[in-house]
Amino acid sequence: MTTTASRATGAAEGFKPWTRPEMAARLAKDIPEGWCVNLGIGIPLLVSNFVKGREVIFHSENGIVGMGGLQKPEELEPWLVNAGKQNVNLVTGASIVHHADSFAMIRGGHIDLCVLGAFEVAENGDFANWTTSLTDGVPAVGGAMDLAVGAKRLWVIMDHTSKDGRPKLLERCALPLTALKAVSRVYTNFAVIDVGPQGFEVIDMAPGLSMEALEAQTGAKLKRKAA
């Protein structure tokens, strides 16, 4: 039902939502060369596929500055893992730091951009991505809260609506927050939306999508970003 549901919606509305690779590529286009970027697990990781030819330095919170791609079976180095504990490579120029230094780098504002997934984003930049419930199951937080408050800017990449079709961009988050007033931009399968001083500002929309159709899928007011 997940992306399919959204796409079904798109089809019904007569437009074609962006695919995940398209979303990642759209986000990657906005990353200038030279930035140091931390990518969350999941869709955010796809972004690294679309910065080829530019020097972007990928940071992994377990202490890698200059992370490369996933290892191929023949290059196995089990002593190198990313934040998702996948085996990765280093790029030329990479360095290793310990956990306190790595989070000092994050908290101290030295990461230009963090890209995370989210369950909900509010029009004031609040967002929720770490747990759907504080009572059911065991919560886990990892480095999300540190990244959210520490990186110079936080962009969220996610489907525009939930698996069951409910809006994920809202006036106020209902789920437990990861950080307050932290998100500056959202890339969804429907649109690219800035979190401005007065709320959501639409920068870009999937081909064929109307502002009205987008608003119908969004739980907060939208306005077009002034050029």
Partner 1 sequence: MVVGKAAIRCFGVAEASISDSIAAARVQGHPVQGRKQEIMIDKRVTSIADAMKGIKDGSTVLFGGFGAVGHPGQLIDGLIEHGAKDLTLVGNNAGSGRVEPLVRLLATGRVRKIICSFPRSAGSVVFDEMHKSGKLELELVPQGTLAERIRAAGAGVPAFYTPTAYGTALGEGKEVREFNGRMYLLEHAIRADVALVEAWQADRWGNLTYKLSGRNFNPIMATAAELTIVQAQHIVELGALGPEHIHTPGVYVNRVVHVPYGDPAPALVTTA
Q: Which of residues 93-152 bind partner 1 (CB under 8 A)?
A: 93-100, 102-112, 124-125, 134, 137-146, 149-150, 152
Closest approach of partner 1 to the CB of residue 160, in Å: 19
Residues 186-205 that bind partner 1 (CB under 8 A): 195-197
- In the DSSP assignment, the letter for residue 119 is S
What sign does the dihedral 206-211-217-220 (CA atoms) show?
A: positive
**Of the listed pieces 7-15, 29-37, 205-213, 218-226, which binds partner 1 according to CB under 8 A?**
29-37
What's the rounded Cα separation, in Å, for the pair 189 and 163? 13
| Interface with partner 1: number of residues (CB under 8 A) | 78
Q: Which two tokens stand for residue 219?
A: 């739980």
Do residues 170 and 220 touch, judged by C-beta distance below 8 A? Answer: yes
Closest approach of partner 1 to the CB of residue 9, in Å: 27
Under the binding rule (CB under 8 A), the answer on residue 5 touching partner 1 is no
User: Cα–Cα–Cα angle for 152, 186, 175, nearest 5°?
Assistant: 95
Closest approach of partner 1 to the CB of residue 14, in Å: 32
Measured from the CB atom, is 8 or 224 closer to partner 1? 224
C-alpha pair distances (Å), 222 with each of 3, 9, 174 = 22, 19, 19
Q: Residue 120's closest CA among 164, 148, 159?
A: 159
Residue 26, helix vs strand vs coil: helix
Closest approach of partner 1 to the CB of residue 11, in Å: 30
Measured from the CB atom, is 16 or 203 closer to partner 1? 203
Determine how β-strand 88-96 pairs with β-strand 191-196.
unpaired
Q: Which of 61, 120, 123, 201 is catalytic?
A: 61
**Of the listed pieces 2-10, 156-164, 177-185, 216-224, which binds partner 1 according to CB under 8 A?**
177-185
Measured from the CB atom, is 5 or 91 closer to partner 1? 91
Closest approach of partner 1 to the CB of residue 135, in Å: 11
Residues 56-95 that bind partner 1 (CB under 8 A): 57, 59, 61-66, 76-81, 83-87, 90, 92-95
Sequence length of the chain is 227
13 classed as catalytic: no
Residues 34-53 that bind partner 1 (CB under 8 A): 34-36, 41-42, 53
Do residues 204 and 186 touch, judged by C-beta distance below 8 A? Answer: no
What's the rounded Cα separation, in Å, for the pair 201 and 12? 24
Catalytic residues: 61
